[in-house]
Each structure stands twice: as structure tokens, then as C-alpha cells.
Amino acid sequence: MKTFRIFILVILFTVFSGLSSLEADGLPRIMILATGGTIAGTGTRSTQTVGYAAAKIGVDALIASVPELTGIARVSGEQVLQLANENMTPADWLKLARRVNQLLAKSDVDGIVITHGTDTLEESAYFLNLTVKSMKPVVLTGAMRPATAISADGPMNLYHAVLLAGSPSAAGMGVLVMLNDQISAAREVSKTNTTAVDTFRTPDFGFLGYIIDGKPLFYRATTKRHTATSEFDVTNLDTLPEVAILYGYAGENRTLLDAAVASGVSGVVNAGTGNGSMSGRMQTAYREARGKGVVIVRASRTGSGFIARSVEAKDDAYDFVVAGNLNPQKARILLMLALTKTKDTKEIQRMFMAY
Ligand code: DAS
């Protein structure tokens, strides 16, 4: 009996001392999911900042290149994709969303960092903002200079992203984008410059906060629904409805719209001129497309501002939806997800105001 008691005590001691050594450092456990992009890119010389090869370095090498990470988090990595991210597809978004949801459901994962190419980073970020079912931090980061460049921006961006993903202040803020010391909301941020390191901007509202000397400082939050309060669920989806974006311009003709409709798209986002305006000729074409069951969303090519209903087009009469202040590429994502739930344009318009 005595031996048995000692045995139990030894087991309990082993378990608890094991647990306490696991948690003794108090560091958040952050999973880094790598998808490629310039942050994992290599050039042939240290001064090369264009024309390099994206998506060459694996996640372990990325983590190893920032040894300072061991001081702020217990980090592990997973190579989910390895692409120049202009090759990202909706199937990749679904894969990423599923993996993020699986990982965040685990009690030993406190936050996620996704390393991503900057070209489509805002699209993946907004897709995850609408489909991740957790309040735990999810942070996307990338780089404008390849890992081999003098003054590469990737290592500091990765360090800041891990810091942010491990910070309680980032919980419940929606999916975040962390580059160039600035914290931005997935819904609002957009790549605005082809090569500059300060390319990620939020027209109209500005960024949410920044990291100063290792501390995330938030100054505002987005008021739109996201993550844990989102009604969209992609758990059982293998594909998303096809939605095209068509760019408006002076003298536009209907050829591309007709081709999109003939190809069987479920929706079209018009990146319209100004306040989402369309010529009389294009209004007729879009109205006819709507008559064939295609959902039409009016957005703007201007890069900022709100599309008002029934101002530049007869939205009520023609049964169009307006994008609010979502840019066309984000309006497309919301429409794709909306169409997984409904074809009712009043419902879809409600979603455009809520998200
Ligand atoms: N082509 C880009 C991409 O992978 C490069 C980048 O990451 O900035 O998205």
C-alpha cells in the first residue's frame, strides 16, 4: 500500500513538474503557417529588389532567420503552401481557413501567424476575417524585399507578427495585417504601391495601431462583424461560387460582361468609375445580366469611399447591391461567401453593410 502511495505521488509529481516546466516560461504558443511570397523569396544579389524568385525558403529556415523569436514565443511552423501568392486560389483560401480553425480549436495554440505574398495578402486576410471561428489572434505578414536583400523587411515583420499574435490585446480584433511596424484590419487594408515597403494602407480610416519597441499599441478597432461573430462557415465547402470583377472605364463596352455571364458566373463586381457609376449602355447590360440571375455588386475603382445606393444607378429598380466601402477585390470575397448562403439580394445587401 505504502509503495503504491509513493508510486502515485511520483506520478503526480512527474505530471505536475512536466506541466509547470511547459508553462514556466509564460510564453505564448504561436503557430506560423507559411504560404510563400517575397518574405520567402531569394534574389541573385543583395541589391536585387525586383525580379527575384518568390517562395523559395521553407518555414523552418524563415523561423531560424529570426532567432529573437525564442524570446517572445514558443513558435512552431507548418508549410501550408509554397507559392508566389498571385497564384493563390479560392481552394487555397478554404484549405487555409480549415487549418487555422483546426489549430485555434486546440488549447495549446494561442495565436497564428501566416506568412504570405503581399500581392493577394489582403484577400486571404479578409477571407479569414469572415471564416475563422475564434477570438484568438490571427496575423498575416509578408515582405516587400526578398530575404536576400540588404535591409530586408521580412525578419522584423515576422518578429512583429509573432509578438502581435501572442498579445492579449490582439484577441477579438479580427484578422490583422502586420507590416512596416503598422497593425491594420483585414477588412480595410489594401496594397497601394507596387514596390514600396509602406505599401499597406487603409484609405479613409488609417491603421489600427503600431508596434513601438516591442509593444503593440492599438488606437481603434473595426466595428464590422468578423471571425467568431461571422455567419459564414466554410467547414464543409470544397468550392466557392464564381464571381468576376469587371473594371469600368470611359467607352466601356459590354463584351466582357456578356462573356462573364455566358461563362456561368454567379456574380459580378463592377469596379465602377467614381461612386460606382456605369454608363447608360452598361447599366442596360448589367440589368440584363441581373435578369439572368447573376448578382451584381457596384463597387468603385477609386480606392476609397462609400458607394451610396440608388445614386449613380437605379439599384432598387435594377436589383443591384452596393459594396459600401469595400474595395472590389474584397467585395468579390464577401459576395462569394454570401452566395454560399443565399441568392436574395436584400439579404446580400444586409451582409455588405454588416461585414
Ligand atoms: N509576387 C508577390 C507574392 O508572392 C510578391 C510579394 O510577396 O510581395 O505575392
Q: In angstroms, what is the span from residue 38 Cα to ligand 1's centroid?
A: 5
- Nearest residue to 112 via CA among 169, 170, 61: 170
What's the 252 CA to ligand 1 centre distance in angstroms? 30
Cα(319) to centroid of ligand 1, in Å? 37
| C-beta of 141 in contact with ligand 1 (< 6 A) | no
**β-strand pairing of 29-36 with 111-115:** parallel
The predicted-structure confidence for 159-200, as pLDDT tens digits, reads as follows 999 999 999 999 999 999 999 999 999 999 999 999 999 999
Q: How far away, in angstroms, is 131 Cα from ligand 1 center?
A: 23
Tens-place pLDDT, residues 75-126: 999 999 999 999 999 999 999 999 999 999 999 999 999 999 999 999 999 9
Strands (DSSP E) along 175-294, which ranges?
A: 176-179, 182-185, 190-191, 200-201, 209-212, 215-218, 243-247, 267-272
The number of CA neighbours under 13 Å toward the Cβ of 197 is: 16
Q: Report the distance separating Cα 277 and Cα 235, nearest Å.
A: 37
Q: Name which of 158, 186, 189 is nearest 174 in CA terms.
A: 186
Q: What nine digits make up the cell of 171?
A: 484577441
* Cα distance between residue 333 and residue 297, in whole Å: 11
Cell numbers 448578382 correspond to 295
Give the pLDDT score at 25: 86
Q: Which residue is closest in CA terms to ligand 1's atom 9?
A: 117
Q: How many Å from the N-terminal Cα to the C-terminal Cα in the chain?
A: 64
CA of 143 to the centre of ligand 1 (A): 8
Residues 6+ away with beta carbon under 8 Å from 200: 118, 121, 122, 177, 179, 180, 182, 184, 189, 190, 191, 192
How far away, in angstroms, is 261 Cα from ligand 1 center? Answer: 30
- Which residue is closest in CA terms to ligand 1's atom 1? 84
Per residue in 301-310, pLDDT (tens digit) is 999 999 999 9
Please state, in angstroms and rounded to a whole number, the distance separating the CA atoms of residues 136 and 175.
9
Which strand (E) or helix (H) includes residue 104? helix 90-104
pTM of the model: 0.93
Decide whether any atom of ligand 1 lies within 6 Å of the 54 Cβ: yes
Supply 128's cell numbers.
479569414
* CA dist list (Å): 71 to 29, 151, 206, 303: 12, 22, 30, 40
Amino acid at 124: S
Q: What is the mean pLDDT of residues 23-29?
A: 83
In order of start, what are the domains of the chain with their CATH numbers?
Answer: 27-229 (3.40.50.1170), 243-354 (3.40.50.40)
Q: Which atom of ligand 1 is nearest to the CA of 116?
A: 7
Residues acting as catalytic residues: 38
- Tell me the CA–centroid distance for residue 141 and ligand 1, in Å: 11
As separate numbers, helices (DSSP H) first and strands (DSSP E) second, the chain gives 10, 14
Q: What is the pLDDT of residues 309-340, one digit of tens each?
A: 999 999 999 999 999 999 999 999 999 999 99
Distance CA 253, CA 247 (A): 11
Ligand 1 atom with the smallest distance to the CA of 84 is: 4
Q: What values do phi and psi take at 301, rounded to 5?
A: -85, 0
What share of residues in the chain are helix, strand, coil (percent, to 5)? 35, 20, 45
Q: Whose CA is nearest to atom 8 of ligand 1?
A: 118
Query: In ligand 1, which atom is closest to the CA atom of 119?
Result: 9
Q: What b/e string do you get for 70-94 counting C-beta neighbours within 10 Å, with b at 16 or more?
A: eebbbbebebbbbbbbeebebebbb
- Decide whether any atom of ligand 1 lies within 6 Å of the 196 Cβ: no
- pLDDT tens digits, 134-148: 999 999 999 999 999
Q: What are phi and psi of 194, to 5 degrees?
A: -70, -35
Residue nearest to atom 3 of ligand 1 (CA): 117
- Percent of the chain past pLDDT 90, that is, above it, reads 93
Grid coordinates of 238: 470544397
Tell me which residue has cell 468603385. Answer: 300
Nearest atom within ligand 1 for CA of residue 37: 4
85 Cβ below 6 A of ligand 1: yes
pLDDT of residue 10: 41
Q: Is the CB of 146 under 6 A from ligand 1?
A: no
Question: Which residue among 118, 122, 153, 158 has the greatest number of ligand 1 atoms within 8 angstroms of its CB, and so is best to mutate?
Answer: 118
pLDDT tier for residue 9 given thresholds of 50, 70 and 90: very low
Q: Is 166 in the pocket of ligand 1 (CB under 6 A)?
A: no
